[in-house]
A and B are shown apart, each in its own frame.
Chain A
Amino acid sequence: MSAESDRSLSRRDNARFFLCLLLSVAFLLGPHHWGEVTGDVIRRSVLVPFLYLQERAEDARTSRAVRERLTSERDSAAYSAQLLPAVRLENERLRRLLSLGQRLGTHYVPAEVLHQSMPTDGRTLLLSQGSKAGIQPFDAVVSPEGLIGVIRTVSPDGSVAMTWAHPEFRASAFAASGSVFGIVAPAPQADGDDMLLQLRGVAYRDTIPVGAPVLTSGLGGVYPQGIPVGTIIGLIREEAGWQRAYLLKPAANPSIVSHVLVITTPHDSSVSSAYRGDSLP
């Protein structure tokens, strides 16, 4: 009787396990919108209190909260706190973000990045602002250093950005040194180096010197013109008489960014003036 009961329990365990596996594989191999819809429902329901907790934790960690506290403290305490390297670095980043915000001619929404523990964090980023703040799908996401990615899904209080590290990322770009256009995509690296980008589809007659900055072209109506994407570091390949592909060192790193600006409509505007000078790679 007991052995039979054990066998029955074991069968039920296996059935549950295989059912969960089957559902996981269905999500993995099924259409993208299954995952997007399910993820959106979970973020809007079960995760609301937990994401609220995480936002509060991020607030406390980042220098936004530190700065608010510092303003209420005496000058000596503020001075000593600012000597802390991490706080100085964070302050520096926020100042640059603030300065970039003032230089941007278009509407933008500042957002915090809620980093996650999964190893794929960096390909997509969870942002603390959503449609309530005016964010819509396909809005460009930038940092003071340059392009981070594009908004993929939006809920009222949060959004998910696809970064340039995502395998499906594409952006129309041109080399700032001339009128050479191409498509930017992630460059798969076989040697374990940092993630890089590639500028492909460059006409065979055109060449770009090493060190030339590459900016978004504004073509396609997703990214405004003039956002730094990266710097040319070499030629990957050339298909004789047809096209060349160049390797790019990305301007911004999505894995370490803590705050971003989401450029809201119109998408066909130019932000070149915001990135002139010290921001350009």
Chain B
Amino acid sequence: MTSAQTERTRLLTVMFLLAALHFYVRPRFGNSQVAPDFLLIALLVYGIRSRPGAAAVAGFLIGIIGDALTPARFGAGALANTMIGYMASWGRAVFFADNLLVNAGLFAGGLWLRNLIILLASNTGAGDFWPELMIWSPIQALSSAVTGLAVLLLFRRWLDLRIDT
């Protein structure tokens, strides 16, 4: 197996692991509004290792899956995740994020921004919009950032990432 194939296999393994965690571990956190979003973490991890086009396609696919599970406004999740995937990939290229805190900021900011786009695209009323954006999304962003960092630290060799601890 060539080095590129090994890398791809490792990346796919991490993605499938995160997808399994999203459906098997996240429900055990109880409140789904604060539990980490493993699919978004998978998207951001993929985004920072890939070209923006591939990250946008991955974001679109993950968003469509999210929309299929929460079809309140189909397309809102796809739109949000496409933009997040694309921006994460560009952000990585621009900021050269080897720093742990910058990566934490990427996970937290990515989740908050994704939720903002979804809330805007799904015409959420003010009664739901502000509590969701100012209370629940920051908590979920924090839990996702902590989980995302744990994933990066655990799999940094597999993902071939250089993280300054």
Contacts and interface: CB of A to CB of B under 8 A. Distances in A.
B124 to A, nearest CB: 7
Interface stretch (A22-30, A76-84, A236-244, A266-274): A22-30
Interface string A1-15: 000000001001111
A210 interface: no
B53 A39 contact: no
Contacts of B57: 16, 20
Contacts of B82: 17, 20-21, 24
Nearest to B66: A118
Contacts of A124: 70-72
A56 to B, nearest CB: 7
Given A21-B79, A119-B136, A54 B28 contact: no
B127 A117 contact: no
A42 B74 CA distance: 12
A190 B27 contact: no
Contact of B72 (A47, A120, A190): A120
Contacts of A56: 24
Given A20-B57, A116-B66, A57 B23 contact: yes
Interface string B67-109: 1111111111111001100100000000000000000000000
A35 interface: yes
A23 B78 contact: yes
A167 B122 CA distance: 10
B68 A42 contact: yes
A114 B23 CA distance: 10
Contact of B19 (A25, A35, A50, A57): A50
Contacts of B52: 13-14, 17
B89 to A, nearest CB: 8
Contacts of A160: 71
A193 B83 CA distance: 30
B131 A192 contact: yes
B121 interface: yes
Contact of A119 (B22, B71, B74, B137): B137
Contact of B75 (A9, A26, A50, A116): A26
Contact residues on B (Cβ < 8 Å of other chain), bracket: 35 or more
A38 B19 contact: no
B65 A38 contact: no
Given A9-B51, A13-B53, A20-B57, A126 B74 contact: no
A15 B127 CA distance: 37
A55 B23 CA distance: 8
A191 to B, nearest CB: 7
Interface in A47-84: 47, 50-51, 53-54, 56-58, 60-61
B144 to A, nearest CB: 9
Given A46-B65, A54-B23, A57-B25, A116 B70 contact: yes
Contacts of A39: 67-68, 71, 74
A118 B64 CA distance: 12
Given A13-B51, A119-B115, A192 B130 contact: yes
Contacts of A152: 71
A234 B115 CA distance: 32
Contacts of A13: 51-54, 56, 86
B6 interface: no
Interface stretch (B7-15, B29-37, B148-156, B157-165): B29-37
22 contacts: A9-B53, A15-B53, A17-B56, A27-B67, A36-B74, A46-B65, A50-B23, A53-B20, A57-B26, A57-B27, A58-B27, A117-B35, A119-B119, A119-B124, A119-B137, A120-B119, A121-B70, A124-B72, A153-B71, A165-B128, A167-B123, A189-B127
